[in-house]
């Protein structure tokens, strides 16, 4: 079965653009989350726990540093594997 090469090539540009969009959106939301306490739980409460959504968003943004390269290079390897297989099967026809 033939896989269209653009399917495995467009992500090279689109994936970083998507991640950049996500990070910019989170960054833009940070002041609002900090100001309103959105989704945060403060002490005291009946469960005796606290949760700071602002901190979670910061941690999510930081987590992109080690995770994005791993995912991106995995996709590049998958691309190479599929396109190499596709090229080999074309040669055999």
Catalytic residues: 15, 22
CA angle (77, 65, 71) in 5-degree steps: 20
83: preceding bond cis by omega (within 30 degrees): no
Distance (Å, whole) CA 36 – CA 47: 21
């Amino acid at each position: 079965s033939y896989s269209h090469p653009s399917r495995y090539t467009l992500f090279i540009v689109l994936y970083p653009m998507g991640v950049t969009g996500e990070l910019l959106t989170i960054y833009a939301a940070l002041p609002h989350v900090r100001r309103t306490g959105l989704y945060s739980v403060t002490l005291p409460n009946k469960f005796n726990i606290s949760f700071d959504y602002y901190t979670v968003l910061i941690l999510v943004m930081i987590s992109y540093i080690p995770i994005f390269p791993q995912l991106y290079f995995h996709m590049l390897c998958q691309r190479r594997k599929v396109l190499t297989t596709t090229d080999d099967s074309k040669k055999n026809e």
